Amino acid sequence: MDISFFSPPEITTFFHKNPQKNDPYLDMQSTNNQPQSSHTSTSISSDSGEPCGDGKWASRLLRECATAISDKDSTKIHHLLWMLNELASPYGDCDQKLASYFLQALFCKATESGQRCYKTLASVAEKSHSFDAARKLILKFQEVSPWTTFGHVASNGAILEALDGENKLHIVDISNTLCTQWPTLLEALATRNDETPHLKLTVVITASIVKPVMKEIAQRMEKFARLMGVPFEFNLISGLSHLGGLTKENLNIQDDEAIAINCIGALRRVQVEERTAVIQMFQSFQPRIVTVVEEEADFTSSKNDFVKCFEECLRFTTLYFEMLEESFPPTSNERLMLERECSRSIVRVLACDDEIGEGDSECRERGSQWTERLREAFSPVSYSDDVVDDVKALLKRYRTGWSLQPQQADHESGIYLAWKEEPVVWASAWKP
């Protein structure tokens, strides 16, 4: 399949074939396979003021392109990719951004170059991921949006309550949050009780991009714990290729410790086939509590159906991008970085399916799906009223649009953070 972007000019004739119709793009489909003589030579230039009245051109185009790829219709693919290329921009409005990043993924899928693309993107990102940049990025994101802090507050509350009264705490943090969850927990440990327990924090990172900054993070955390007056020990496990390699020994779990396992966006990085095994491994550590926070999207059950997977990916990413756009100021560097990070994830999900990557699978599942898995080994713990109140108070501190969808009485499978009524993040707690 030979895709060249910069195709001969006759393609442009399609745009103005039927000027009366509202949607020239749909027309392209019908006229696709018929050779046309050039009517007009003007093409829709790279200008974002589209003649089309409907603002959601990106999703439509992208969907069609995905269908075309699934159907292996190379001419159509060619056309759509070219159009998207013309209209897309990572600096434009939401539609343009979506078009740009999904175009990248679709292109990789069409040319079967997903793996290479992902690796390149990842290595570029890694180089620019200094401690200061990473810190600034994550703290700014947490300042403008509760996307991550929602899970932190819920999990911290559950952990504090479950481990209340214990003297030796050991928290296994499987996440890439750069320990931004823990300062508030440390502060709570220091001020809540008369007797401050000893805390051992073992951080397991799965995304290699995070690794270089963790050394600095470790130092800061130790210093902060000292400041708070909490006896603290920090360990880092970073060399694991996959979570299945965790054992009691390499986590250094002692018998007299009260264990809490904290998984933030971690389970989705496990290969789908290994997820059950990983959950059982958690069970073997005999934790007092397991807190799980994941994004609410399903990229797993539709693995075999590209279009369906694509639709779900597009839906979720659209929500995410819209949220980012409304949360950050207009010319925000941080937002750009987050969008790029998301784009890497999109490439990974859509264009790397059959290839085992370096561990980050990114195949999200919904809360209900995770619940099914976790129920095999654990039973759910409802968040107490205090924790729910804390979360509600947290959401109040952000802009409007965020809400808490409470736990369903029947499933009891956790709470959802909702952006404009759409659930986006799921948080839950489990005990053996």
**Which window, 106-114, 253-261, 262-270, 282-290, contacts another protein (CB under 8 A)?**
106-114
Q: Which of 38, 41, 42, 130 binds another protein (CB under 8 A)?
A: 130
Q: Applying CB under 8 A, does 285 fall inside the site for another protein?
A: no
133 in contact with another protein (CB under 8 A): yes
Considering only residues 6 to 65 of the shown chain, the ones binding another protein according to CB under 8 A are 6, 46
Least distance (Å) between residue 337 CB and another protein: 6
Name the minimum Å distance from CB 236 to another protein.
16
Give the C-alpha distances (Å, rounded to integers) separating 300 from 89, 105, 117, 363, 386.
Answer: 29, 17, 21, 6, 34
Question: Please, which residue, 17 or 135, has the CB nearer to another protein?
Answer: 135
411 binds another protein (CB under 8 A): no
Using alpha carbons, select from 284, 279, 304 the residue that is nearest to residue 373.
Answer: 279
Residue (of 54, 47, 2) closest to 26 by Cα position: 54
Q: Are strands 198-204 and 168-174 parallel, antiparallel or unpaired?
A: parallel
- Report if residue 191 touches another protein, rule: CB under 8 A: yes
Amino acid at 190: A
- By beta-carbon proximity to another protein, the closer residue of 175 and 180 is 180
**Does the protein bind another protein through residue 431 (CB under 8 A)?**
no
List the one residue from 61, 99, 221, 350 that touches another protein (CB under 8 A): 221
Do 113 and 314 form a contact (C-beta atoms < 8 A)? no
Cβ atoms 253, 288 nearer than 8 A = no
**What is the number of helices (H) and of strands (E) in the chain?**
15, 9
What residues does 427 pair with on adjacent strands?
293, 415
Question: Which residues within the stretch 67-86 sit at the binding site for another protein (CB under 8 A)?
Answer: 85
Spatial separation of the C-alpha atoms in residues 5 and 326, rounded to whole Å: 33
Binders of another protein: how many residues, by CB under 8 A? 70
Which residue intervals of 163-245 are DSSP H helices? Answer: 182-192, 211-228
Judged by CB under 8 A, the residue of 39, 72, 223, 420 near another protein is 223
CB nearer to another protein: pick between 140 and 200: 140
DSSP structure string for 11-64:
GGGGTTS-TTSS-HHHHHHHTTTS----S------S-S--S-S-S-HHHHHHHH
- Give the closest residue to 384 by CA, choosing from 431, 429, 432, 418: 429
Beta-sheet pairing, 198-204 with 232-237: parallel
- Regarding 399 and contact with another protein (CB under 8 A), the answer is no
Give whichever of 217 and 237 is closer to another protein, judged by the CB atom.
217
Which residue's CB is nearer to another protein, number 157 or number 265? Answer: 157
Calpha distance 132→46 (Å, rounded): 36
CB of 245 to another protein, least distance (A): 29
Residue 149 contacts another protein per CB under 8 A: yes
Closest distance between another protein and the C-beta of residue 268, in Å?
22
Nearer to another protein, 4 or 20 (CB): 4
CB of 316 to another protein, least distance (A): 21
Q: What is the CA radius of gyration of the chain?
A: 24
- Contact set with another protein (CB under 8 A): 4-6, 46, 85, 89-92, 100, 103-104, 107-108, 113, 117, 120-121, 124, 127-128, 130-133, 135-137, 139-140, 142-143, 149, 153, 179-180, 182-184, 186-187, 190-191, 196, 216-217, 219-221, 223-224, 226-230, 331, 333, 336-337, 343, 347, 386, 389-390, 392-394, 396-397
